[in-house]
Structure formats: structure tokens, C-alpha cells
Chain A
């Protein structure tokens, strides 16, 4: 028996939210008295495997092959199945990234096992795994328990704290041969166009500064001010659907029910009214700050801190102030 966590790689390095899952996996494995196994797949796996050991895995399994250079469901599902068998894993966890959700579901279905997708909490109660899902756009919570011996869950990014990496680690790292060849993989990737170089992904971001239709007077400058504040804070840029629909910024920045669900430590909403569909995507943020001209904007009823004012004045003032303070600290 074991508890297995897939450590996803993107552009050659580990996706940060996978460490959150591995950190919680450590606690669950201890409670279940079972070893913690990390799985790393890719064209290169060495650095991520070493990091997985530092983040607390007892064993790290690697599958290293050019066939795994980019995520393809068929190839990755075959690799995950091999690892599950090798580690005799009964609990299998992934981060609920786009790929993590899909891979977790595909292999759970193949093995006819119970699945809890996109969970926000995962714990052991009376020796049983209990997963909490947040559904109906975060308006309903439900505890999921499993009736199958194998149990799969994908964990929404930022549901658990980032674990501390140990300086030295003594996990066993074991390479598995991928028993699959190119002919058996139906997905042929013909072309890859990189869309964002080095931008922080919204789902992993600990700080997000978002802009809404409030930038309408000068959208380009508005989002430039949003981006400048985000940059000073080391955060990502988000947006409301109104801003996306108006063409101020691409869809990949959209936060909300039909955009991304985010859970940063700090969410700054500038010129965003706070419609329920927007709240659905960012309501789980730890601290919410609203900047809005209208003191009655609904966002203020969900925010912790607010400034009533024009974002074209408030954002530059905040950026300047943070520069001053953060500069002093470092």
C-alpha cells in the first residue's frame, strides 16, 4: 500500500501547486501509516525528483522518455498506471490543474475507482480518506468518502500551504521503464505556440491584482497600472469578464465562474463591481482588497480592505508606496 502524488512538470520544472499536494500527502500518509510516493514523468525528471525527495516523499518513481516531453493523456495515463502498480498505491492525488484533473479522472475511470475531483480539503477521519468538494460555484460544500479500495482525488491549487523543503533528503529514487511506444499514442502534437513567456500562472499565484471595466476610460493605461502593481508584488494579473469581453485583456486572465478559480493570499480588485460570477472565482482568497469609485459596489461587502477612489490615482500611489516599503525591507 502507498499514497502516490503526481508531480506535474511544465516547461521542464515542477508545477508549484503539486508541492502543496505532496505536503498534505505527507500528513495523510502518516495518518494512514503508509509510505508517500511521488511520481515524476517527463523528458527530464532528475531535478524534480530530487526536489520531491526534499519535500518529503519516501520514494520517488520516475518515468523518463522523449515520448513524455509534452503532456499527452494516453502516454501519461500509461505512466501513472505503471506507477500505481509498482507502488501498490491505494490513494492517488494530483493537483487539480487542467492536466492534473484530466489525468486523475482518466486513470480513476480506467481502474473503476472512486474519484473526488477538484477538492478543497483532504483529511483522514477514523482511518478513512475524506475529501471536501466546493460545488455550485462555491455555494455548496460536500464531503466525499469512497466505497472503492482505490481512491483518487485532484486537489484545487492553493488549498494547502506550501511545505518546507528539507536541506537533505534520503528518499529512494527509482526509474521505471515506460512500456509504451509512439505508435500506441493517438495524440500527435503538430505545433506548439508559446503564449506567455515567464508569466506567473493565475492558479498558482499567491498575489493577484485584477482589473475590471473600471479601466474603461483608458484601458491600456489601466491594465498597465494593474500590471505594475502586480510586478512590484511579484503577483499575477487578473481581470473580470467585462474587461475580457471588452477586449482590454486576453481571456486567459479572466477570473470567475467562466474563467479561472483562484485562491491567492492577496487579491486586489480594481474597478471590479463584484458580480457573483466574479466572486465565484476569487471568493476563496485569503485577503481581498477592493479599489472602486463607488462606495456601494458589491465587492466591498466581500472585501477585507478597501479604498474608495479612482483606480487611475490609487494604483500608482499603491505601487509607489510598496516600492518604498519593500525596498526598505530588502
Chain B
């Protein structure tokens, strides 16, 4: 079995508020960068599937040279190989271009059975790239998977979390699966893993090498800006008793007509 894990390098979530509109505009985000937290679950699941069923695993990212660090994190967790698609010559991130390139890189791996990924990225949070990858590859897609039960006989059986229910679904392989956080607990990379990853040579692919012609962008981004600061002055209700405080708050909320 062969598994490709799609990962992205994103700002550390605690750094997101510091990211400026200018940095987003130029694509030069200065925040401390990490592997997208959602993708860590996918990397972990790839390693676990390898442990359960035996699998060849490869992590793939689209990004600049610095994104190699996110791949090394996946390697240190136990993913066997890594590839980076270089995005430095590309126009601003277009979801379908990203999906096309990732799909092409998956195809370049040969016979991949499963493509695993997180449910969205914490920066652009479109939650759409893996949908596009499945479309471009023509593979069935299962999103928000919280348990992969069985991979056998050319089928994968998995549990999806949907609003109000847990669904057990089966699809033929090859398939694309996005995972939810309940699926596992990502491991900390081991010392040995980190040492091995730090020495790894990570091949770089270009869009030309993948045979992808860069199309015109499907959308334009304008007026990248910070949201207006909400100048809320909190009103704290005092009172001799808790009942008195509660009554004042209820008065205020009824006056706001939100109830």
C-alpha cells in the first residue's frame, strides 16, 4: 500500500493575530511557522496505517524552501519520504492550481492508494484544497474521517463525523481522505526521528516537471486588511448579591433584544 500525506506549513496558531495584511499580500509571512496542526493528524494516521498494514508513506507539500521544515516534521514523526513542489514562480495561491499541482505530485508517485490530509489549513482555511485534489485525481473523497477501520480488497472502510451522526462509509481505492482531530493523538517526534529528518535530502519538483501549465487565476484577492478593532468597553455588573448582578445583566440583554 502506498500513502501520500498532503501537508502545509502555516503560522503557529498563537502567531496568527500578529500576521499583517502586508505579509499576506506579499506572501512573506514572518510568524513562526509550523506544520499545519490539522495536517499533523494526517501524518500521524499515515504512520499508524504503516504500522498496522505496512505502507510506503510520502509527505508532499507545496511551498517555498522554508516549507521543508514542515516536511521534516512529518519525517521525524515517521513518514518515510518527502517531496516539495516549489511555488516560488507561481501567482498568488489559487485553490485549483494548488489542487492540480498536489494531484500531479501524487500521480508522479506511481500507484498511490490513499491520499491523507487535514481538514483545512489554519491560515487560509478554505477547506477546499483536498476536495479539488480528489476531483483532479478522479478519486472518491471522504472528509472529516475519525477512524480508518479497514483497508483491504481494494476498499477502505472509515467512520466520518457528520452533523448529528457517525457514518461508516466504504469507498474503493484509491481514495482521498481528510481527517478530523478525533482520529488520533499525533506523536512527538523522537530524538532519532529528528536526527534522521534533519539529514534528509528532500527532492524539489517544479510545475514544469509535473507537466502542469500554470493557468490564469480563477479569483482575485483585493483589499487585504485587518478587521476593524472591536472597541468594546466591557460593562461589569456589580451588586451586593449575585442575584442583583444577574438581574442587571438580564436587564441589559433584554434591552439588546438578543433574547
Interface of A with B (CB < 8 Å)? Answer: 10-11, 70-71, 73-74, 97-99, 101-102, 105-106, 109-110, 112-118, 134-148, 186-196, 199, 201, 206-207, 233, 251-252, 257-258, 265-266, 276-277, 280, 283, 286-290, 295, 300-309, 313-314, 317-318, 320-322, 325-326
Contact = CB atoms under 8 A, between A and B. Distances in A.
A194 B164 contact: yes
B232 A303 contact: yes
Contacts of A116: 219
B132 interface: yes
Contact of B250 (A187, A276, A322): A322
Given A118-B126, A266-B256, A290-B234, 20 more contacts: A98-B162, A105-B127, A109-B128, A112-B218, A114-B218, A135-B123, A137-B16, A141-B226, A145-B222, A187-B142, A192-B166, A193-B165, A199-B164, A201-B164, A233-B259, A265-B258, A283-B230, A301-B232, A309-B245, A320-B243
Contacts of A193: 165-168
A283 B17 CA distance: 12
A141 B166 contact: no
A199 B223 CA distance: 39
Contacts of A192: 165-168
Interface in B119-143: 122-128, 131-132, 134-136, 140-143
Contacts, number: 246
Contacts of A276: 13-14, 16-17
Interface in B156-187: 157, 161-172, 181-182
Given A147-B216, A186-B171, A306-B235, A318 B249 contact: yes
B227 A138 contact: yes
B121 to A, nearest CB: 9
Interface in B1-58: 11, 13-14, 16-17, 19, 21, 24, 37-38
A283 B221 CA distance: 23
The range of chain B's interface size is 35 or more
B100 to A, nearest CB: 9
Given A105-B132, A186-B171, A10 B232 contact: no
B164 A191 contact: no
Contact of B246 (A10, A71, A113, A314): A314
Of the candidates A187, A266, A288, A308, the one having the most CB atoms from chain B within 10 angstroms of its own CB is A187
A134 B226 CA distance: 9
B250 A325 contact: yes
B224 interface: yes
A313 B165 contact: no
